């Protein structure tokens, strides 16, 4: 009887000591400071901070890479990447900045002047722990972002396009006239 009780106790102890508690790893928290730049220009600078938390008491990480697919107004705007190393300490937050040149004409029309645009970031943060092991944390964030556009610049851009069209028409007419002269 004592052997059976001893065996059961030994089995219970083995089960409890064999089960490891899941190690707390970094977690995605939010995206802050999203800025589309001045989308009234031909090229604009998108920027934001992707915030992660490290709830672990002792685990220190180094941010190796962050990469995200950027969608603005439902259209692909590119893939911002940041490969600058940052330290990520225990029981802290880490803001990983990303920035990227965008072409506003890819996601808004010339005659559009939206007050806000839907922005989605879908990506992965790659970390390295103190032992050199890579850890990946996926994230996704969607938000409607206020648009900064200077009406004068937009009107100037529209005027420049109209002037370019008029110049092209004039050149085409001149070419047609020259062709007719050569034929006659």
For residue 176, what are the CA distances in angstroms to 167, 168, 172? 14, 12, 6
pLDDT at 21 exceeding the cut of 50: no
DSSP 148: B
* Residue 127 near residue 61 (C-beta atoms within 8 A): yes
Point out which residues pair with 35 in neighbouring strands: 47
Domain residue limits, the chain: 24-162
pLDDT in tens, 96-139: 999 999 998 888 876 677 788 999 999 999 999 999 999 999 99
- pLDDT tens track for 68-87: 999 999 999 999 999 898 99
Q: Which fold has domain 24-162?
A: Immunoglobulin-like (2.60.40)
Question: What's the predicted TM-score (pTM) here?
Answer: 0.67
> Considering only CA atoms, which of 157, 134, 140, 116 is closest in space to residue 29?
140
């Amino acid at each position: 009887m004592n052997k059976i009780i001893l065996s059961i106790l030994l089995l219970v102890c083995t089960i409890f000591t064999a089960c490891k508690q899941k190690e707390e790893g970094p977690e995605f928290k939010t995206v802050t400071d999203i800025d589309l730049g001045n989308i009234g220009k031909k090229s604009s600078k998108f920027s934001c901070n992707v915030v992660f938390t490290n709830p672990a008491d002792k685990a220190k990480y180094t941010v190796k890479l962050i990469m995200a697919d950027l969608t603005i107004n439902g259209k692909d705007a590119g893939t911002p990447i940041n490969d600058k190393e940052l330290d990520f300490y225990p029981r802290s937050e880490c803001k990983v900045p990303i920035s990227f040149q965008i072409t506003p004409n890819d996601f808004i029309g010339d005659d559009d002047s939206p007050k806000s645009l839907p922005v989605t970031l879908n990506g992965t943060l790659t970390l390295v722990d103190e032992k050199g092991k890579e850890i990946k944390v996926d994230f996704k964030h969607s938000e409607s972002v206020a648009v900064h556009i200077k009406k004068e610049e937009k009107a100037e851009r529209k005027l420049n396009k109209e002037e370019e069209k008029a110049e092209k028409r004039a050149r085409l007419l001149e070419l047609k006239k020259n062709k007719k002269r050569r034929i006659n």
